[in-house]
Amino acid sequence: MSQEQAFEQDQLVVFEVGDESFGIDISLVQEIIRLQPITEVPKAPMHVKGVINLRGKVIPVVDLIERFGFSSSEETKATRIVVVNVLGNTVGMIVDAVSEVLRLSIDSIEPPSSIVESVGSQYLKGIGKLEERLIILLDLDKLLAEMGAKAIGDFAGLSAVA
């Protein structure tokens, strides 16, 4: 472990939602695209905005802005969809802006504390410190799994049993 840590540097894609910066592992990111017309899907899970056409593929899009409790700000020129591959699904995430790609050495990452209020701590991998900035590292697996149909499906299953 220690050996790995010594060499490991996380490469992160950093994006902004509201006034906070979030980082995700670059290997999960397929591409970053401009905001596109989104086709709403009725009765979709709550934070799923709908589907878009990604070069012939239909992929679901979730709204992180809404999920993190920021009032859905106006679309700006900076608004992007970050397309990620998580849990065998290709999912787009709407974010306010994508700022940069940066390297973060493992030892500048701190375990999550309860300071961050906007995101439940179960979706946090840690807090990255970079000079004066704090970057919230997201556990996308958990976050997107919660936002997708799985959680909803479980809920429906429960109610069916009852």
Contact set with other proteins (CB under 8 A): 37, 39-45, 48, 50-53, 56-60, 88-89, 91, 144, 148-150, 152-153
Q: Which is nearer to other proteins, 57 or 103 (CB)?
A: 57
Of 33, 60, 56, the closest CA to residue 44 belongs to 60
Q: How far is the CB of 52 from other proteins (least distance, A)?
A: 6
**Pairing between β-strand 89-95 and β-strand 57-63 as defined by DSSP bridges:** parallel
In angstroms, what is the minimal distance from the CB of 80 to other proteins?
18
Among residues 6 and 151, whose Cβ is nearest to other proteins?
A: 151
Instruction: Give the position of tokens 């009032």.
Output: 71
Half-sphere exposure at residue 89, Cβ-oriented, CA atoms within 13 angstroms: 19
Identify which of residues 107 and 154 has a Cβ nearer to other proteins in the complex: 154
Nearest approach in angstroms of CB 103 to other proteins is 30
In the complex with other proteins, the residue whose CB is nearer, 92 or 112, is: 92
Under 8 Å between Cβ of 48 and 143: no
Least spacing, CB of residue 158 vs other proteins, in Å: 15
User: Whole-number minimum distance, CB 59 to other proteins, in Å?
Assistant: 8
Q: What is the DSSP string of 60-120?
A: EEEEHHHHTT---PPP-TT-EEEEEEETTEEEEEEESEEEEEEEEEGGGEE---TT--SS-
* Secondary structure letter of residue 132 according to DSSP: T
Residue 11: count of CB within 10 angstroms of its CB: 13
Judged by beta carbon, residue 43 or residue 77, the one nearer other proteins is 43
